[in-house]
Amino acid sequence: MNIVNNIENVLNNIQIVELRQLLLFVFGVLRSELFFKIIFFPGIFTILITVSELIWLERKFLAKMQLRVGPQYAGRIGGILQPIADFVKLLFKEAIIPEKADKKFFQIVPILLVVLATTTLTVIPISETAVISNLDVSLLFTFAILAIFPILTLLAGWASNSKYPFLGGIRALFQQVSYEVPLWFSTLGVVLLAESLNFVSIVKAQSSFWYILLLPLGALTFIVSMIAELERIPFDVPEAESEIVMGWMTEYSGMNFGLIMLSLYTKLYFASAMFTALFLGGWLGPSILSPSFWFLTKTLIVALIIIMLRGVLPRVRLSDLLNIGWRRLLIFSLISIVWAVMVKLFLLGVF
Amino acid sequence: MSPLYFSVGPQHSGSGHLRMKIELQGDIILNAEPDPGFVHRGTEKIAETREYQQNVPMIERQCLPDVSSVSLAYAMAIEELLGIEIPPRAQFIRIIMCELSRIMSHLYWLSIMGIFLGHSTMFMWPFGDRDIFIDIAEKITGSRVSYTYIVPGGIRYDLPDKIKEQTIKTLDYFQGRLKEYDAIFLSNPIFERRTKGVGVLSQTDAINLGVTGPTLRGSGVRGDIRKGIPYSSYDQLDLEIPVFTEGDSYARSMVRFKEMEISSSIIRHALDNLPDGDFAVKTRKKVPEGEALSRVEAARGELACYIMSDGTSKPYRLKMSTPSFRNLPGFSLMKGSMLADMPTIYWSLDYWPPDADR
């Protein structure tokens, strides 16, 4: 404490007012818990490491499925530094902006995508204390952020001023709008049981039962809708490369493309983390190991299941995709709400 | 709303060296016009300036996944002009090479079909398994892809030692793998949903458009040169022709899938009944005046080779009628289908641009 007091004394003795205030502010920020959370754990640093290694994990995992080797050279252990090497490479590449593109929107979309994708992670609790902002309505907050993504993808497609991105943007809009509704509804069961919109309370409410046991249909609907939201195979219709090249991100290159990839994998991590928090009991687990370990392990397993689907399923057709969304998943999610009410009334009422 | 015009290819991840002019209304393709010719190399004209033997490696280049059938058609036409009889051992080895080529070509087709439908595992597996067949071909011919093995007068070398054991071992492995392909891709409900009823080519249309090969057999026509006008020694071997009547992309896919199985059994049969004797006969450099037409069943369909000779050592005219070009009218199936079905229909025809453009 003495050192802190000494430093504050030194800073207070500075005669220039502006400099004094600035340095005091910086010192305060550096000492605060929030700063540590945002920058290191569970903030940006952890997210970047996890997400880049998620890319490595996907490539290695898929390679094993496909009888290949996968990344091999960057880093000692099986090319573990390959994603970082790729990002460095993308940083040095020229970011080509098409001549007829709307340059302002074209450039702002990748940045906004990364910012929004990482913002959603601020409310995810890695353990009871390791959550950046413990909002009362964190579930609502994540959905508010998720609702912006279709607009951004459409904006990317439109600002590219090219035909494939345009088609991809329209497809993305269709897909994300139609899958948002079942996604919302499938979480309502959890909200009913936990009587809270806060992730920390939801996880705490699962101390006796994980909600995947009580609401299997809701969990299934959630994960399927989330894969559609992530635009991953089998629902990667907006970026179907044999039809519309790369969909809404066709014209992006260099670090702009790198940022989009980063945002997509951040969303993958976020989706797995959200599934863990809502249905798999978050950080809960045997107390031999730390809560953060349990949370990250569960998240990785969910992410691996989503990744595995990429290896075993072809892409569905656009019309089928909308049919699945509106005719199946919506009904499943509505049944799941009724189911949750029943569970609440009869099963939990007895206990 | 006015339609959206755009072109798919020649630089598109779903086109190959081909351009398709697409007219799109909503998600429905109003018109799809193929624009071939990007890899036209003038093979037929160049062939007139080279000697008969020199042409073999060049014409093989028109269809690299399936080179044996091309050189076989060429060799058969010249042999007809020369009036020579090929020893039975060479005939059988030619059949073995053609069926190996057919398997390799269909594996190539299967992997591209996989990636066109977004199935990356199906992209990798057949390509990996194609490599063990390439190894066999390398052992037999000395080259991995373009063999120049079937030449006028027979084949260039006899089979090496122990190739039979290696081939049988490979085929055992491969037939086990075919079941895995079926489990992961062809029996996948999404695959069936995406191909059944897509790009339906009726029997009458198939005959009227003049399509050949698996595309024709998928529409319920029992058209196969191997069975209809047996060449080489195909009449001495068990040969089963898979025919599907639905005429959709699924039927065409299943024809090719079944053909891989059947080709494996043909190779086994041919290896078991391999006659002894010479593997080539002596030919003359100058080919007598006249004209000859040979027809073979390549992996993509009927391949015809017409040669007109003026008595010199160079062909006066060489004309190849290639299966890909004959399947080109099949692109009209895209009309009225959804954009998502475009790659499915395109690749269910197994169109190979260099084969069509020559």
**Domains with residue ranges and CATH for chain B:** 37-357 (1.10.645.10)
Residue keyed to tokens 């009904």: A331
**Cα distance between residue B184 and residue B114, in whole Å:** 10
Residue keyed to tokens 């179907």: A240
Torsion sign (Cα): B188, B190, B191, B193:
positive
**Cα distance between residue A127 and residue A41, in whole Å:** 11
The interface pTM score, or ipTM, of the predicted complex is 0.81
Tens digits of residue pLDDT in A114-172:
888 888 888 888 887 777 788 888 888 988 888 888 888 888 888 888 888 888 888 88
**Cα distance between residue B119 and residue B186, in whole Å:** 11
Q: β-strands B154-155, B290-298: how paired?
A: unpaired
Among B23, B190, B250, B351, which would you mutate to test the A interface (most chain A Cβ atoms within 10 Å of its Cβ)?
B190
**What pLDDT score was predicted for residue A147?**
86
Q: Is the pLDDT at A43 greater than 80, yes or no?
A: no
User: Which residue from B minimizes the CA distance to A242?
Assistant: B14
User: Which residue from B minimizes the CA distance to A164?
Assistant: B6
Query: CB distance from B244 to chain A under 8 Å?
Result: no
Work out the minimum CA distance from A48 to partner chain B, whole angstroms.
26
- Region B279-288 average pLDDT: 84
**Cα distance between residue A155 and residue A102, in whole Å:** 10
* Chain-chain contact of A66 with B190 (C-beta, under 8 angstroms): no
Q: What is the pLDDT confidence band of residue B306, given thresholds at 50, 70 and 90?
A: very high
Cα-based distances in Å from A234 to A87, A161, A261, A278, A318: 26, 27, 18, 23, 11
Torsion of CA A14, A18, A20, A24, to 10 degrees: 180
Work out the minimum CA distance from A271 to partner chain B, whole angstroms.
22
Q: Is the pLDDT at A32 greater than 70, yes or no?
A: yes
Q: What is the pLDDT confidence band of residue A297, given thresholds at 50, 70 and 90?
A: confident
Nearest 5°: CA angle at A248, between B18 and A308?
Answer: 90
SS3 A78: coil
* Chain-chain contact of B12 with A245 (C-beta, under 8 angstroms): yes
Q: Is the pLDDT at A37 greater than 80, yes or no?
A: no
Work out the minimum CA distance from A310 to partner chain B, whole angstroms.
7
**Cα distance between residue A153 and residue A142, in whole Å:** 17
Tens digits of residue pLDDT in B29-59:
888 888 888 888 888 889 899 888 888 888 8
Go through B129-163 and write b for each residue having 16 or more CB atoms within 10 A of its CB, e for each that does not: bbebbeebbeebbeeeebbbbbbbbbbbeebeeeb
Among B18, B120, B195, B344, which would you mutate to test the A interface (most chain A Cβ atoms within 10 Å of its Cβ)?
B120
**Cα distance between residue B291 and residue B197, in whole Å:** 44
Q: Is the pLDDT at A351 greater than 60, yes or no?
A: no
**What pLDDT score was predicted for residue B293?**
92
Q: Is the pLDDT at A1 greater than 70, yes or no?
A: no
User: Which residue from A minimizes the CA distance to B25?
Assistant: A167
Pick the closest to residue B279 from B133, B140, B122, B182 (CA basis).
Answer: B140
SS3 B38: coil
**What pLDDT score was predicted for residue B288?**
87
Phi, psi of B134 (to 5 degrees): -60, -35
User: Which residue from A minimizes the CA distance to B129?
Assistant: A67
CB atoms within 10 A of CB B306: 18
- Region B83-87 average pLDDT: 87
Pick the closest to residue A223 from A284, A260, A182 (CA basis).
Answer: A182
Long-range contacts of A79-88 (CB under 8 A, 24+ apart): A80/A53, A80/A56, A82/A55, A82/A56, A83/A52, A83/A53, A83/A55, A83/A56, A84/A52, A86/A55, A86/A258, A87/A52, A87/A258, A87/A262
Q: Is the pLDDT at B143 greater than 80, yes or no?
A: yes
* Chain-chain contact of A242 with B14 (C-beta, under 8 angstroms): yes
Residue keyed to tokens 């004797």: B277
Work out the minimum CA distance from A212 to partner chain B, whole angstroms.
26
Cα-based distances in Å from A123 to A94, A140, A277, B68: 35, 10, 11, 63
Tens digits of residue pLDDT in B160-184:
888 888 899 999 999 999 999 998 8
